[in-house]
Chains A and B, each alone.
Chain A
Amino acid sequence: MSTLAVHDHHGVEHHDHDHGHHHKETFITKYIFSQDHKMIAKQFLITGIIMAVIAMLLSILFRIQLAYPDKSFPLLETLLGRFAPGGRLDPNFYLSLVTIHGTIMVFFVLTAGLSGTFSNLLIPFQLGARDMASPFMNMLSYCMFFTASIIMLASFFVQKGPAGGGWTIYPPLSALPKAMPGSAEGMTLWLISMVLFVASQLMGGINYVSTVLNMRTKGMDLWKMPLTIWAFFLTAILGILAFPVLVAGVVLLVFDRSFGTSFYLSEIVVQGQVMNFEGGSPILFQHLFWFLGHPEVYIVIMPAMGISSEVMSVNARKPIFGYHAMVYSLIGITVLSFIVWGHHMFVTGMNPFLGGVFMITTLIIAVPSAVKTFNWLATLWRGNIRFTPAMLFAIGLVSFFISGGITGIFLGNAALDINLHDTYFVVAHFHLVMGSAAIFGMLAGVYHWFPKMFGRMMDEKLGYLHFWLTFIGAYLVFFPMHFMGLDGVPRRYYAFTEIESLKQWLSVNTFITWAAIMSAVAQVAFLFNFFYSIFFGKKATQNPWGSTTLEWTTPVERIHGNWPGELPTVYRWPYDYSKPGAEEDFIPQTTPYSQTMTSNLPHDFEDNPIGLTQYNEWLKTQTVNEEVK
């Protein structure tokens, strides 16, 4: 009894503290070192958007170089100084631009910006939890991410410029600071930034998994979770298993760079000077890198898939087609993603038999991917579709995923890859299937959950403008690249149109650059819409999209602890849209079956025999009533 009393006292004290906290919140605890999952989600989103804009501007810079390799733009020298002497990009700076564009987009925008935002926002909301398992760790996660971003950007201000070895930072190039300017201090900063970034992602991921497994509200079993949560959960598992391997690889690389070990370095001559390394294996780094690197692309795309599934179901006013198949295909992708990394290394002199094994596992991933694609299409089929901006972006994801995924079948072939490796075909493939598709999933999420994050609506017209310009622009940019790749145009080259046999691609390059500039300008519509609507958008209602999931049962003013009173109880799966016999075209997860007698079906009571008998009795009385009439 005494323990009970002590516990109770403690509980009350905590409760009071909670209320006190609400009033005493200062600017710093509310906006900077916040431990509230909703605020952390917004922090991740806005940091992610800023990083995305920076990475996009970098891409425009190197696109200008590709389109006009002979012209000089004095403005560039004004803006970039020694990085663009005489108004033309410095070749080493070009490599840095490509590297940092890739790094920021893959890690800072599509990993942290996407998972960080929506996992933080939706996991507690859609599961009915007050907050994350450890709000403190969550705060640390954002702080580390922010620091990592600053360090990554700071590398533009060191003498020799940012890292330039490509986002995959293969040694020996990246391991020898003297090899090129992009391997000097910039690379050191890159490595520091990435270690912090991984720490941030691990803390985030640990929290996501723990929250999903431990803090679901009453009635929310795993098979009643929305597909968003399934996707975030499996993404977090991927991150937890894959990121530490990258750290191991990076730690060894740091030792090679700064301590003179030879993990990755073999006999090598730099600038006429024989270095005293021997016996190292650069392929070892590729193994360690791609063991993370391949799951990483699924870390990027799976949250986008989850968001699209949810948005498409809500806006097609139909249950998602094949909910279980959707979950199992996500699990399938998760498992397979760990045994395919070798397909990035087909041309490293890999044993052809091993290459064959990696090829088969790679091609098997097409199966769960196709399952997901067909399920999305089947969800749209005969739906009562509302083309909100979020819905358009979700459909855009499906489009990019199909057209980018198909080229994956080509690249996954060990034999074809000999021709296609490191050409623009690869660039086209991954920019469509994970770049554009994941960005579109993220934008769908932003448009869809904006009312939940800020209590206001985004402007629809600007949303449509943003969608169409970006959608068309992305295809115009990336589609021609397939043909360049088939012709053997190598990626990451500063001025490949100087090569006699590739000269004819200059006109295509110019076209792509202008398409890229158009898509970049289109983002202004989004940025204006986003920041304007935060302050002046139309006030949102509690459930603006007529959605069934739990986040829309919270008050529009976002409060500490999410729900003012008790946590909601869940009675049904999240996709009861347009159920025959129901009064409205959606039934929230919190509505018990006893309140929806007219729309209940026998399979709703699969694991509930008492409910089934009651349902059958109710059916009998209904038929009796019919006969009386």
Chain B
Amino acid sequence: MMAQIQQDKDRLNLAPKKFNMWIFLFTSFMFFMALTSGFIVYSGGKGHGLGFNMPNIFAYSTGVIVLSSLTIFLSSNAAKRLQFQKQRLFLWATIALGVIFFVLQVYAWSLLIKGGIYFTNPNASQSFVYVFTGMHLLHILAGLLLLINTLVKAYRNTPQVMNLYNMDMSSIFWHFLDIIWIYLYVFLLLNQR
């Protein structure tokens, strides 16, 4: 029996798949690094700054996404303790917060547009704000799909190994999205004048 388990481990091994997620974070990280470096090269070379203050709504969305990191952490913890009811509840909360974040970001765009700061703009520093937030929202969309997948599977009779694996994958990615947003927000705050 032990030999059987031993042999199957090399056929179904989840650790490398989880590792894939970590490497994917690197690629994503490089992508946002490239965009922000582009901003530095552009605004440094042309003397075009952002020239406006970030709308306060970004502070609220930051709060929302930090809170969602907390809820997914609680959901993971619940899953580890076999409290599946709680796990699902906190997953729902995370998804809801993710959606709120999404809406807030889009709302922030509408505020920017009202303030005359357009995406199509001779000052590309201001266009960069849309690129940063837009590309981040694309990632958020992917993260939401991942969370929904985990939630659906948590309702089905998924083996605990797979449940924990799904949970790990989505929380690694979601925490990363949180950190990237904080990075982008701080970056924008430091460059806003």
Residues of A near any B CB (own CB < 8 A): 3-4, 6-8, 10-12, 14-15, 18, 129-130, 133-134, 137, 202, 205-207, 209-211, 213-215, 240-245, 247-249, 251-252, 255, 259-263, 276-281, 283-284, 287-288, 291, 561, 566-567
Picked from B34, B121, B124, the residue with its CB within 8 Å of the CB of A244 is B34
CB distance from B130 to the nearest CB of A (A): 9
Q: Are B124 and A261 in contact (CB under 8 A)?
A: yes
Report if A280-B124 is in contact (Cβ < 8 Å); known contacts: A8-B5, A245-B31, A249-B34: yes
Picked from A8, A130, A240, A260, the residue with its CB within 8 Å of the CB of B23 is A240
The residues in B between 7 and 34 inclusive whose CB is less than 8 angstroms from any CB of A are 7-8, 10-13, 15-17, 19-20, 23-24, 26-28, 30-31, 33-34
Q: Are A12 and B4 in contact (CB under 8 A)?
A: yes
Q: Which residues of A contact B31 (CB under 8 A)?
A: 244-245, 247-248
Q: For the complex, give the distance between the alpha carbons of A277 and B31 in Å.
A: 26
Q: For the complex, give the distance between the alpha carbons of A261 and B5 in Å.
A: 58
Q: Are B34 and A134 in contact (CB under 8 A)?
A: no
Q: Are B20 and A137 in contact (CB under 8 A)?
A: yes
Q: For the complex, give the distance between the alpha carbons of A11 and B14 in Å.
A: 13
Q: Which residues of B contact A261 (CB under 8 A)?
A: 119-121, 124, 127
The residues in B between 87 and 138 inclusive whose CB is less than 8 angstroms from any CB of A are 119-124, 127-128, 131, 135
29 contacts between A and B (CB under 8 A): A3-B160, A7-B161, A8-B5, A12-B8, A133-B19, A134-B20, A202-B24, A206-B20, A214-B13, A214-B16, A240-B23, A241-B26, A241-B27, A242-B30, A244-B27, A244-B30, A247-B34, A248-B35, A251-B135, A261-B124, A262-B127, A263-B38, A279-B124, A280-B124, A283-B41, A284-B41, A284-B45, A287-B37, A291-B34
Picked from A240, A251, A279, A566, the residue with its CB within 8 Å of the CB of B122 is A279
**Chain B, interface residues (CB within 8 Å), range:** 35 or more
Q: Are A11 and B12 in contact (CB under 8 A)?
A: yes
4 shortest interchain CB distances as A-B pairs: A133-B16, A248-B34, A11-B8, A244-B31
Q: Are B23 and A215 in contact (CB under 8 A)?
A: no
Q: Does B80 contact A (CB under 8 A)?
A: no
Q: Which residues of B contact A244 (CB under 8 A)?
A: 27-28, 30-31, 34
Q: For the complex, give the distance between the alpha carbons of A133 and B41 in Å.
A: 38
Q: Are A18 and B11 in contact (CB under 8 A)?
A: yes
Q: Which residues of B contact A3 (CB under 8 A)?
A: 160
Contacts beyond the supplied A249-B38, A260-B120: 15 A-B pairs with Cβ under 8 Å: A6-B160, A8-B1, A133-B19, A210-B23, A213-B16, A214-B13, A241-B27, A251-B135, A252-B38, A261-B120, A262-B127, A279-B124, A281-B42, A283-B45, A284-B41
Q: Nearest chain-B residue to A260 (Cβ)?
A: B120
Report if A207-B20 is in contact (Cβ < 8 Å); known contacts: A15-B8, A214-B15, A279-B122: yes
Instruction: Label chain A's interface by main secondary structure.
Output: helix
Q: Nearest chain-B residue to A10 (Cβ)?
A: B159
The residues in B between 124 and 166 inclusive whose CB is less than 8 angstroms from any CB of A are 124, 127-128, 131, 135, 159-161
Q: For the complex, give the distance between the alpha carbons of A248 and B5 in Å.
A: 45
Report if A243-B27 is in contact (Cβ < 8 Å); known contacts: A6-B159, A279-B46: yes
Q: Are A281 and B27 in contact (CB under 8 A)?
A: no
| Total A-B contacts with CB atoms under 8 angstroms apart | 141
CB distance from A94 to the nearest CB of B (A): 32
* 0/1 string, B27-64, CB within 8 A of A gives 1: 11011011101100110011010000000000000000
Q: Which residues of B contact A278 (CB under 8 A)?
A: 122
Q: Are B26 and A240 in contact (CB under 8 A)?
A: yes
Q: Are A281 and B159 in contact (CB under 8 A)?
A: no
Q: Nearest chain-A residue to B31 (Cβ)?
A: A244
Q: For the complex, give the distance between the alpha carbons of A129 and B11 in Å.
A: 9
Q: Are B27 and A567 in contact (CB under 8 A)?
A: no
Instruction: Label chain B's interface by main secondary structure.
Output: helix
Report if A245-B30 is in contact (Cβ < 8 Å); known contacts: A133-B16, A133-B20, A215-B16: yes
Picked from B38, B121, B131, B135, the residue with its CB within 8 Å of the CB of A284 is B38
Q: Are A206 and B122 in contact (CB under 8 A)?
A: no
Picked from A14, A202, A277, the residue with its CB within 8 Å of the CB of B8 is A14
Q: For the complex, give the distance between the alpha carbons of A134 and B165 in Å.
A: 14
Q: Which residues of A contact B45 (CB under 8 A)?
A: 281, 283-284
Q: Are B27 and A215 in contact (CB under 8 A)?
A: no
Picked from B11, B48, B131, the residue with its CB within 8 Å of the CB of A15 is B11
Q: Nearest chain-A residue to B128 (Cβ)?
A: A263
Q: Which residues of B contact A137 (CB under 8 A)?
A: 20
Q: Are A14 and B119 in contact (CB under 8 A)?
A: no
Q: Are A566 and B16 in contact (CB under 8 A)?
A: no
Q: Which residues of A contact B7 (CB under 8 A)?
A: 566
Q: Nearest chain-B residue to A249 (Cβ)?
A: B34
Q: Which residues of B contact A210 (CB under 8 A)?
A: 16-17, 19-20, 23
Q: For the complex, give the distance between the alpha carbons of A497 and B161 in Å.
A: 70
Q: Which residues of B contact A8 (CB under 8 A)?
A: 1, 4-5
Report if A259-B119 is in contact (Cβ < 8 Å); known contacts: A244-B30, A249-B34: yes
Picked from A247, A263, A276, the residue with its CB within 8 Å of the CB of B42 is A263
CB distance from B109 to the nearest CB of A (A): 14
Report if A130-B30 is in contact (Cβ < 8 Å); known contacts: A261-B124, A279-B48: no
CB distance from B2 to the nearest CB of A (A): 9
Q: Which residues of A contact B17 (CB under 8 A)?
A: 133-134, 210
Q: Nearest chain-B residue to A207 (Cβ)?
A: B20
CB distance from A120 to the nearest CB of B (A): 15
Q: Nearest chain-B residue to A256 (Cβ)?
A: B124
CB distance from B152 to the nearest CB of A (A): 18
Q: For the complex, give the distance between the alpha carbons of A4 and B159 in Å.
A: 12
Q: Are A215 and B13 in contact (CB under 8 A)?
A: yes
Q: Which residues of A contact B42 (CB under 8 A)?
A: 263, 280-281, 284
Q: For the complex, give the distance between the alpha carbons of A561 and B5 in Å.
A: 16
Q: For the complex, give the distance between the alpha carbons of A241 and B26 in Å.
A: 7
CB distance from B147 to the nearest CB of A (A): 19
Q: Are B122 and A277 in contact (CB under 8 A)?
A: yes
Q: Nearest chain-B residue to A206 (Cβ)?
A: B23
Q: For the complex, give the distance between the alpha carbons of A129 and B10 in Å.
A: 8
Q: For the complex, give the distance between the alpha carbons of A262 and B126 in Å.
A: 10
